[in-house]
Amino acid sequence: MKIKYFIKNALNTSIFFVLTATILLVSSCSKFIDLAPLDRVDATTFMADANQVVISVNGVYASQRSLFGGGSPYMIIESRSDNVAMIATEQAERIEHDTFEESAGNLNVLSTWTPMYVTINLANSVIEKAKDAEGDATLINRCIGEAKFIRALTYFQLVTLFGDVPLRLTPTVDFTKTVVARSAKTAVYDQIKADLNDAASVLPASYSGTSQNEKGRATKFAALTLLGKVELQFGNKAAAAAALRQVLGNYSLLANYSGIWAAGNKNTAESIFEVNFLPDNQTGFGLPGTFIPASEAARLGIKAGGSSLLTEFPTKDIMDAYEAGDLRKAASVSISVAKGEAYISKFMDLSAASGGHNINWIVLRYADVLLMLAEAVGEGSEAYTLVNQVRARAGLQAIDANSPGTFITKIMHERQVEFAFEMQRWFDLLRLPQQDILTIMGADLQRERGKTYNIAAYHLLYPIPLPEVQVSKGVVTQNTGYN
């Protein structure tokens, strides 16, 4: 019965994949975020001119907003780390991400995989069709660059979570040709880097002063920052440093750490790329409501959200990681008055109503550039100067080579507390030697759950969703260790 369900679900997923891409492509906002959707247009004749290309790329952003606004991607990325734990009474499939026990049939994994490929398919449509559109060539090329940036970002998440993945570079329009075998992660990384280099060559440095509502779109510096992150993740430190140095000086740290995620404080001097949410347009950010205990939401007067069962909460590891006097702790976690339990308050909008929280999801920010560059150049005066800029904002003393711990331990500690709950920690851990990751996560689970879990090296990748394997009839293979 379970296998029949998965096969049926796989077929439905494929149909949903194509139909969703088509609907989003032709019904997106005429401006970036805040206008009502246009009437639907025949997809076979769409993207005939520059204006239609702009509308189409807005559909890619809309799909990305749905992806980041959903709970499954956050759950499988953040709860995998030692920063976030899952409550023991949650659904088994959700707890499995925390305890490294999921099977290939885990529906949260499928619910992450599918919308990522929907987003990629939309980007592929823009990249393939926009080149033949008539009108402003500079604008058309910029839109193609935006689509390539989003495709690169989505593939970066996929390849980091799953390893080898199907590399789809053309839009899926034929139901008889939907199966694509997995490509080696080196090939996926090469495509990501090619997309980001292309994007950096055509995207503007900023959208300030433009007549349209365009602030928040992908920029040249967003492409270069992501390129630096990709190179660093793949171990190419010199290439990472070369990309990140081009971003230095073009942004600045906000004076107050708590202001980074303050409600309504969007696309700031520190922000390099954000996924835009807007309650007034019924696209408010709903995820933060799930982090706040219902009693706290009621006490604080927050109408949007508040969970009676706090699914995800800060671990002992992250609570203990903050140094005395670190201003980031109070800006990131709070203790509920009613139950005395720690909860994630970093993204809290006190005035949030039914439309959701007026907060954007920040994917890339300047503190990340500083800490990534420090990691890429290695221990030395330059690296500590970069790190200490971030620490100074947090109200902490400078560190140097004589401070306790190895250089990479100090870097990882700084990243853990600076980017707590921002879907960065698990990706950061994956840059460490395998045994170090297994040791860190084993100790974390022992503290949280009081028992030993059998975490193996194969757990560092998620299983390929079972429906993807089944519907391909073996063309798409499974990751080692999963049935």
Query: Where along the chain do its domains lie?
Result: 2-203+433-471
445, 316 Cβ separation under 8 angstroms: no
Q: Tell me what the mean pLDDT of segment 227-254 comes to.
A: 98
- The answer on pLDDT for 22 being more than 60 is no
| Residue range 2-203+433-471, CATH number | 1.25.40.390
Closest of 17, 16, 19, 22 to residue 44, by C-alpha? 22
Other CB atoms within a 10 A radius of the CB of residue 478 amount to 16
- The answer on pLDDT for 15 being more than 70 is no
146, 226 Cβ separation under 8 angstroms: no
Residues 209-240 have pLDDT tens digits of 776 668 899 999 999 999 999 999 999 999 99
In whole angstroms, give the CA distance from residue 467 to residue 483. 12
Cβ contacts of residue 180 below 8 Å, gap of 6+? 166, 167, 168, 475, 476
- The answer on pLDDT for 12 being more than 80 is no
Cβ contacts of residue 298 below 8 Å, gap of 6+? 306
- The answer on pLDDT for 260 being more than 70 is yes
Residues 305-319 have pLDDT tens digits of 888 777 899 999 999
Report CA 211 to chain centroid distance, whole Å.
29
| Mean pLDDT for the chain overall | 89
94 versus 477: the higher-pLDDT residue is: 477
User: Given this model, what pLDDT does residue 283 score?
Assistant: 85
Residue 234's SS3 state is coil
- The answer on pLDDT for 27 being more than 80 is no
User: Given this model, what pLDDT does residue 311 score?
Assistant: 81
Strands 271-275 and 312-314: unpaired
User: Given this model, what pLDDT does residue 403 score?
Assistant: 98
Q: Tell me what the mean pLDDT of segment 60-74 comes to.
A: 92
Query: What pTM does this model have?
Result: 0.91
User: Given this model, what pLDDT does residue 112 score?
Assistant: 96
